[in-house]
Structure 1
Amino acid sequence: MSDQQARSAGSPGSQEEAAELYRSAHPERFRSYLSRRKVVFLVAYVGYVCAYFVRNNFKLQSESIRLENGWSLTQVGIILTAFTITYGFAKFGMGAVADRVSLRKIFAGCLAASALICIGLGFTHNFVLLFILMLMLGVVQGALAPSSMAMIANWYPNKSRGSGIAIWNTSQNAGGAGLPLLITWLVTLVGPGNTWVGFLIPGALVLALSFWFWKKGGDRPEDEGKDRLSTIYGEFGEPQVEVAPDEGYMRIFVRFVLTSPVVLLIGLINAILYFLRFGITNWIPAFLGTEMGFSESQYLTAFSMLEWVAIPGCFIFAWIAIKAPNKQAIVGCVGLLLLAALIFIYMGNESYPVLLIVTGLMGGLIYGPQLIVNILTLNVVPLKAAGVAVGFVGLFGYIVGELAANLVMPILAEMLSWGASFTVLCLIALAGAAIYLFLGRYEKKIVKA
C-alpha cells in the first residue's frame, strides 16, 4: 500500500490518526523509526548532561580560585565573559553549520574538544591563559545545544516535539546539579586547594563518553534512510511554515530567522532569561559565600538544589506542553511573575533551610520559561533551519543576557549593593513576562496539534 493510498483512506484529523495511517501502510518502517528515535533522544540527553560536566567547572570554583590568586570580582566576571562572548557567537555560527553537516559528528567532536579544554583549565592559573582557554571552550560548546536540539526536532512531530524538548531541557539541570556534587566529593577526597581535580576527572569521563556518542548519535531521518516527519505525520509532522521546494538555505535563514519579528522577540525573551539565570547562578559563590556568610558546602548545595529541583519543575512544564502545545507563552508569563517574587525573598534571606527552598523553586521558574523559548523557536521555523534558529536565539541569550549578568551584576554590587543588583533582576523578570504575554496570540496560529 502506497503513501498516497494510505492518505486517501481517510483524512487524518490528528497526529495520532496520521501516524496510524502510516503504521498501517509501513509497519516495519514505523517500528524502526520509533526504535531509532529512542536512541537519538538518549544521545541528545546524556550528551548534553556531559556538556555541563565540562562547562561550569571554573564558575563553581571561581571564589576559591579568586581568593587564591587575589583577583577582584570584576576579574572573575571578565573570565566568565570570555566564555560568554565566544559561546554566544559560536552557538549562532555552529547552529548554521549543524544544519548543513552530520549532527552526530559535530556534536560528539565538539564535546570531546570541550573535555580536553576543561582538563587544560584545571592546570592553569595564569589570568591571560585562563581567558584564552575560556574563549576556546565557548567556541566548541557553542555547537552542542543547536545540534542536540536539532536531533530532537528532526525526529519528533509537532505534538511530541514540545514535550521532547522539555524533557531534554532537564539534561542541563542534571549536568548542572551533578557537577557541584561531584566537585564537592572530589575536594573532600583530595583536600582543599586542589581545584584541578574538579576539572580533570569530569573532563576524562566526558572524553571517554564522546566516542560512544560519535557512534550512536542521530542524524536527520532522511540521511539515515528513513522517512521525514512530513511523510509519517503529514501536516502534523513539521511546523506549518511555507517554504518553496527550491528555496535555498540562505533565503530561508533570512526570511524565517534573521528578519522574523517573532524570532526576534523570542530572542529578546531569551536574553532576559539568561540575564536572570546567570545573574543568579554565576554569583552564588560571591553573594551567598562572601556577602551572606554561608559556607562553601552550603552555597554549593544551594546551587545543586537549584538545578535538581529544576528537573521536576521542567517535567511539569513538559506535561503542560503535552496538554497545551500551543499555549506555552502564557505559561512562561506566569512563571516569570512568580520568579520575580522569589528573587525578592532570596536577596534578603539569611536562613539556610529557607535558602534551599527558595533556590530550588527559582530553579524550576528559571529553566521552565527557558525551555519554552526552545519549544517556541523550533515551532516557528522550518526544520531545515532548526539549528541556526536555536543558535540565533541563543546568541541573544549569551551576548546580551549572560554578558550583562557577568558585568552588570558585580559592577552594581561593588558600586551600590547586591540589593541593587537583584532589584534589577526583578524588573527584568517582569519585562519578560509582558513579552511572553504578547507572543501568546501568534503561537496559537502557527502550531497545529
Structure 2
Amino acid sequence: METKKFWTYENKLLILLFFVWGFVFVDRLALNFLFPFMTEELGLSNTHIGIIVSAFSLTWAIAGWFGGFFSDKTGKKKNILMISVLLFSFCSLLTGLANGFVMLILFRMLMGITEGPVFPVAQSLLSVASSPHRRGFNMGFFQSSSTALLASFLGPIVIVALANEFGWRPTFFLTIVPGLILLFFIWKVVQEPKELTFEAEKPAEKVPLSLVLKNKNVLVSVFVAIFAVTWYLNINTFTPLFLVDKGISASNMSYIMAAFGLGGVLWGFGIPAISDKIGRKPTMIIFSFITAIAPLAFIFLGSNQMVLLMIAAFIGNVGVGTMVLSMSNMPSESVPAKYVATAVGFIMAIGELVGGVAFTTIAGIAADMYGLAAPMWIAIGSTVLCGLLAILYYETAPIKVGKSTGPSAPIGTELT
C-alpha cells in the first residue's frame, strides 16, 4: 500500500501562506487593538479612527486590484509576493513613529499599498497548487484560519500585553522581525506556476477579461464583499473601543477579542469544509445570518457577563468562513485559472473601497454622533444583507455540480 507523503509542495505552500497572510492581518489589526492606548496621546476621535481605517482600505483595494492584474499579466507571482512582504514589514514599523493623525494616516495608506497585492497573488498560487477535493479546506485554512489564529486570537493577547509592558510604539517596531523571516521562506519554498499568464493562452482558449468580470458569481461576490468587509472592519475596529467604553478592562477586552479570533480558527476552515460536503450556496446563506450573534451580544450583554460574551464572540466569527466562500472558493471555481488573481483582486478592491472606505468612515462618524453601538448595528445589518445576497449565487462545489471545477474550469453558463 502506497503511503502518501505529508510534506508535499501543496502542504508546504499552504503552511507558508498561512503564516504570510496571518502576519498581514497581525499588522492590519494591531492598530485596532492599540487604539485604546493611542487615542489620548494622538488626539484621535472615533471619526479619525474610521478615516484611518478607511484610508488603509482605499490603498489596499487599489493595490490589490492592480497587483492581482499585474501578477496575472506577467506571471511573476513569487517576485510580487516577496516585494510586498518586505515593504509592508517596514511600513508596519513606521506606524510606531506617528506623532499625530496626519502622519498616522499617511503611514497606513503606504502600508495598504504594500499589503494589497498579497491576497490575490497568494490565493492564485494556492488555487493552482490545491487538489480539487481539498480546495475548500485549503482556502479556508489559508484565508481565515490564519488571520483568526495569528491576528484575532493571539494578536490581541500578545499585542495588548506588549503595549502594557513596553508601550504601543515599541510594539509596532517589533513587527518587522516576522516579516523578514517569512521573506526568506517565500524565497526558498514558492515555485512560480507555469502557463498561467494571459500571454500563455491558446487562441481558442482566450476569454475577454470583461467577460470574466461579468461572471454572475463574481458580480454577486462583489456585493457580498462590500457588506462582508463592512462587518469585518466594524467588528475589529470598534469592538475593542466599545467594550472598554462599556467598562470592560483592556485585558478582559483582549480575552473577548481572542475568543472571537479562536472561533475564526475553527470556522475559517470549518465553514469551507462544510461547504465541500453540502454545497457553497446553502453554507453561505445559513452562516451569514449566524454571524450577527456576536455584535448582538456585545450590545445587549452586560460587562459582567464575560463568559457569555466570549461564547457569543466565538460563535459569531463564522463570518470569516463565509468570506472564504465569497472571496475565494466561488470566484476561483467560476473562472479560468489564469484569471483567478484578477477576479479575486477585483472583488477585494470593490469590497474594500465601498465597505472598507465608505462604510467604515460612516461608522466612525455614526459612533461620534450616536455612540459606539452604532458600528455594531451596522455590522448586524451587513451580515443579514450577505445572507440575502447569497441566494443569488449558483452552486460551484464539485460534489454538487458533479464535475471538476476550479482553476481549469471554463466560463460557461455562469453569466445567466
Give the TM interval when normalised to the shorter protein.
0.7 to 0.9
The aligned residue for residue 74 of structure 1 is 47
Change (3 A) 1:421 1:39: closer
Q: CA deviation at 1:76?
A: 1.7
1:273 pairs with 2:228: yes
Q: CA deviation at 1:441?
A: 5.1
CA distance in 2, matches of 1:423, 1:174: 26
Q: CA deviation at 1:378?
A: 0.6
The aligned residue for residue 349 of structure 1 is 301
Preserved contact between residue 121 and residue 199 of structure 1 (Cα < 8 Å): yes
Q: Which amino acid aligns with 2:324?
A: L
The aligned residue for residue 260 of structure 1 is 215
Q: What are the residue-to-residue correspondences of 1:166-177 with 2, within 5 Å? A: 166-169=140-143, 170-176=145-151, 177=153
CA distance in 2, matches of 1:265, 1:435: 7
Q: CA deviation at 1:440?
A: 4.0
Q: How many residues align?
A: 393
Task: Name which of 91, 102, 106 aligns with 1:132.
Answer: 106
TM-score, structure 2 length as denominator? 0.87
Stretches of structure 1 lacking an aligned partner (at least 5 in a row)? 1-26, 224-242
CA distance in 2, matches of 1:61, 1:417: 20
The superposition leaves residues 146-167 of structure 1 with CA deviations (integer Å, 9 ceiling, x where unpaired) of: 1111111111243322221122
Q: CA RMSD in A?
A: 2.6
The superposition leaves residues 264-292 of structure 1 with CA deviations (integer Å, 9 ceiling, x where unpaired) of: 111111111111111111102221112x1
Q: Please give the secondary structure, in 2, of the residue aligned with 1:448.
A: coil
Asked which structure has the greater CA Rg, the reply is 1
Q: Please give the secondary structure, in 2, of the residue aligned with 1:56.
A: helix
Stretches of structure 2 lacking an aligned partner (at least 5 in a row)? 406-416
CA distance in 2, matches of 1:433, 1:401: 16
The aligned residue for residue 76 of structure 2 is 102
Q: CA deviation at 1:143?
A: 1.0
CA distance in 1, matches of 2:176, 2:29: 11
1:246 pairs with 2:203: yes
Preserved contact between residue 154 and residue 221 of structure 1 (Cα < 8 Å): no
Q: Please give the secondary structure, in 2, of the residue aligned with 1:128.
A: helix
Preserved contact between residue 267 and residue 394 of structure 1 (Cα < 8 Å): yes
Q: CA deviation at 1:316?
A: 2.0
The aligned residue for residue 178 of structure 1 is 154
Preserved contact between residue 305 and residue 360 of structure 1 (Cα < 8 Å): yes
Q: CA deviation at 1:123?
A: 1.7
The aligned residue for residue 309 of structure 1 is 263
CA distance in 1, matches of 2:75, 2:164: 43
CA distance in 1, matches of 2:110, 2:284: 33
Preserved contact between residue 333 and residue 437 of structure 1 (Cα < 8 Å): yes
The percent of aligned pairs where both chains have the same amino acid is 17
TM-score, structure 1 length as denominator? 0.81
Q: CA deviation at 1:321?
A: 3.5
Q: Please give the secondary structure, in 2, of the residue aligned with 1:125.
A: coil
Q: Please give the secondary structure, in 2, of the residue aligned with 1:61.
A: helix
The superposition leaves residues 161-204 of structure 1 with CA deviations (integer Å, 9 ceiling, x where unpaired) of: 222112212111122122222213323433xxx21121111222
The aligned residue for residue 281 of structure 2 is 329
Change (3 A) 1:332 1:386: same
Change (3 A) 1:32 1:286: closer
Preserved contact between residue 234 and residue 378 of structure 2 (Cα < 8 Å): no
CA distance in 2, matches of 1:140, 1:247: 36
Q: CA deviation at 1:115?
A: 0.6
Q: Please give the secondary structure, in 2, of the residue aligned with 1:282.
A: helix
Task: Name which of 162, 169, 174 aligns with 2:136.
Answer: 162
Q: What are the residue-to-residue correspondences of 1:48-447 with 2, within 5 Å? A: 48-99=21-72, 100-169=74-143, 170-176=145-151, 177-190=153-166, 194-221=167-194, 245-246=202-203, 252-257=208-213, 259-290=214-245, 292-324=246-278, 327-350=279-302, 351-363=305-317, 365-373=318-326, 374-440=328-394
- Bigger drift between 178-187 and 351-360 goes to 178-187
